[in-house]
Amino acid sequence: MTDDQLLRYSRHILLDEMGIEGQERVLAAHALIIGVGGLGSPAALYLAGAGVGHITLVDDDVVDLTNLQRQIAHTTARVGRPKVESAAAALAALNPQVRVTGLQARVDAATLDGLVQKATVVLDCSDNYATRHAINAACVRQAKPLVAGAVLRFDGQLTVLDPRDAQSPCYACIFAPDADFEEARCATMGVFAPLVGVVGALQAAEALKLLAGIGQSLAGRLWMLDGRSMRWNCIRVQRSPGCTVCAPR
């Protein structure tokens, strides 16, 4: 680690649980962030600030004026530019030592397998049910830990899905892939802006814990936040023996 890195990351290195060894694991890691909107913006900024060596951003959208109420990686000057390009500029300004790869695309199963295979940790910051299940399936196939967050209106959710842990459920264990689910979007339902910052920052925290090998992850627990009362509820979630995605065949 260089003198500049020792100084830049000194507040993490001072933590007994992290130290130089933990920081070096972070520097050597590769985080894949799918979705660079409300959740992906704070998650990416915190991971870049913490020195994650390689961050891959995936999003097929461009920056819109309506995004700026909550998507803090983007600016008014970058309206109309691809979100991955805009976010990459924000990360480079914050920490030029981090390698950032941007992919402007809507991912499918084949693309996801290749992306997930190269990652150390995956953050699902997407905004639709089908993509969440596709990301989960790829993480199960590639045995990569997944930090999943979601926010709509005043409600937030957060969990860690770790296929390396025999007791950890996958996303399909908690939310059935074939459920008759009516998609709700921010464009029609609205979203309380600071809530995506809270959940996105916590996604970064869980990812950093996994990368540095510190603390206990949220695997096996689903945290739900009611933004009206600022109350967290935590429920235990278990692996389903009949899960069509993660159950042994």
Which positions are catalytic? 186
Tokens of 201: 């920052």
d(CA 29, CA 27): 6
Beta carbons of 150 and 171 less than 8 angstroms apart:
no
Alpha carbon 199 to its chain's center: 9
Please name the residues in contact with 232: beta carbons below 8 A apart, sequence gap of 6 or more. 223, 224, 225
Interhelix angle for 193-212 vs 19-27, to 10°? 110
User: 161 φ, ψ to 5°?
Assistant: -120, 110
**Angle at the Cα of 68 from the Cα atoms of 27 and 59, rounded to 5 degrees:** 50
Dihedrals phi, psi of 155, to nearest 5 degrees: -120, 135
